Amino acid sequence: MSASRSSQSTAFVPRTGLTLAAVAGVQLLVSLDLSIVNVALPDIGEGLSFDAVGLSWVIHSYALTFGGLLLLGGKLADVVGRRRMLLIGLALFAAASLLAGIAVHAGHLVAARGLQGGGAAAMQPASLAVLASTFPEGRARARAFGIWSAVNALGGALGVLIGGVVTEYAGWRWVMLLNVPVALGAMVLSFRAVPREGSPRSGARPDIIGGVLATAGMTLLVFTVVRTAHFGWTAPATLLGLLAAFCLVILFVVVERSPSREPLLRLGLLRNRNVTGSNVVNLLIGAAMASCFYFVSLYVQLVLGHDPAITGLMFLPLAIGVIFGAGVAIRLTPRLSARSFLVIGTLITAAGFASFGTMSADGAFLTHVLGPSVVTSLGFGLCLGPLVSTATADVAEEETGMASGLLASARQIGASLGLAALGTVAHYRIGTSTDPAILSHGYGRGMTVGALLLIVAAGVAFFVLPAPRCDRTSRPDIAPDREGVGNA
């Protein structure tokens, strides 16, 4: 194992800069698409006649297929090749973005957004697996994942700014169409920079049944949670939906334990405390942050009364703060463990959410948007690099795609579940009202619940992740023991 790893690392050395650029370009595309749509939501709702609950499915459809298919995408990256899956995903994403831009009905847009999520599910785990294998350990790994995190934040910054300006002056359709040239550019760079791999693994078959079960279970779970806004949590439809989703997840676990198939997720991978802890933290952070973009965007436009272009500018401090926080994490990596970064970062982010929770109809940008944005973004930026690096630590080379897919899946499933649950919390307060005071109270209540989720995430990071003396993901002087845990 060590010899093959060494030879592979050597093969990457002359091209590590271009490879990092290609991976960063893919992540820029993913983060751009996650944030660029939020500012355009009110215009999309008006243009395609979405109701208040239906509008959230512009976000849900993308997050569900993205999160539900990420495990399959990660497994396919390990089986058929990372480079192949990267190019396939980018091509699918470009085609879906074109379809979204020309959608004429609400259902068409939701379907196209779901297809976009499928493309993202193919390309993101492949790109993260390339990054993990190119920078397997030490200070270079920490810097590479730190740069990845900064680019992730840059995509968020560009997304809200471009989304606001384009929606205001060109229309929401161009928010979707702009993804096409970005995806094509990323394809060209990936084709040139990502090294070709050997032949696909003989005899390995992708676990299509597992992918269908995982996606169906998560889709039904989120759909049921969203519908609680109409039926309530104790209604028969809600209870039956939750029971059915639980049964699908259990069936997925049974299928993955079958010795006769190549598993979508090798359950033994979860014995690695780095993998399990980082994914739970990632799910909770994803639940909170997706709701943050959603609520704050609606608050700035529907309560404070700003147009999309100004809204995009108001989001810039949040995205820039993430870049700054990621830079701080890079500098302090030799001194602090990944667990310390995650505990501190999630608690700081929770403080920002608590401040957002005080938003009011007569609020000002300085106190109700800028201040909370700075605190939230700094904490979130501290978490990103250590979180991704930890999730692939001590994982065998042939399972980096699986681990990367699991991490990205946790984030997207968390985003969809969090937006559904916290959106329901807000909807209980808002109902059908358009009164600014009631709207701000509902959005603030959702952000307060998000703060509680982040406090739970800090607890998980502290109690589940290895103690600092054992946490080797951020220690440049200690190489991970991949043989032992990766093959557990």
Q: pLDDT of 32-64, one tens digit each?
A: 877 788 778 888 988 898 876 677 788 778 877
Q: Is the pLDDT of residue 88 over 90?
A: yes
pLDDT at 199: 55
CATH number 1.20.1260.10 given to 13-193+264-480: no
The residue extents of the domains of the chain are 13-193+264-480, 207-263
Q: What does the CA dihedral 275, 278, 279, 284 come to, rounded to 10 degrees?
A: 170
CA distance to 179, 324, 366, 457, per residue, from 355 (Å): 33, 20, 12, 18
pLDDT at 476: 38
3 state SS of 468: coil
Q: Is the pLDDT of residue 472 over 80?
A: no
Burial of 208 (0-12, 13-18, 19+ CB in 10 A): exposed
Q: Is the pLDDT of residue 416 over 90?
A: no
State the average pLDDT for the chain: 81
For residue 155, the one-letter residue type is G
Q: What are phi and psi of 413, to 5 degrees?
A: -65, -40
Give the pLDDT mean for 473-488: 36
Q: Is the pLDDT of residue 388 over 50?
A: yes
Task: Point out the least confidently predicted range of 63-72, 296-305, 468-477.
Answer: 468-477
Q: Is the pLDDT of residue 249 over 60?
A: yes
CA distance to 162, 193, 221, per residue, from 157 (Å): 8, 26, 31
Q: Is the pLDDT of residue 67 over 80?
A: no
Q: Which two tokens stand for residue 178?
A: 């702009």
pLDDT at 329: 87
Q: What is the pLDDT of residues 125-170, one digit of tens each?
A: 888 788 877 776 667 777 787 777 778 767 776 777 888 888 888 8
Distance (Å, whole) CA 317 – CA 346: 18
Q: What are phi and psi of 464, to 5 degrees?
A: -100, -45
Give the pLDDT mean for 332-360: 93
Q: Is the pLDDT of residue 5 over 60?
A: no
Burial of 395 (0-12, 13-18, 19+ CB in 10 A): buried
Q: Is the pLDDT of residue 12 over 50?
A: no
Q: Is the pLDDT of residue 400 over 80?
A: no
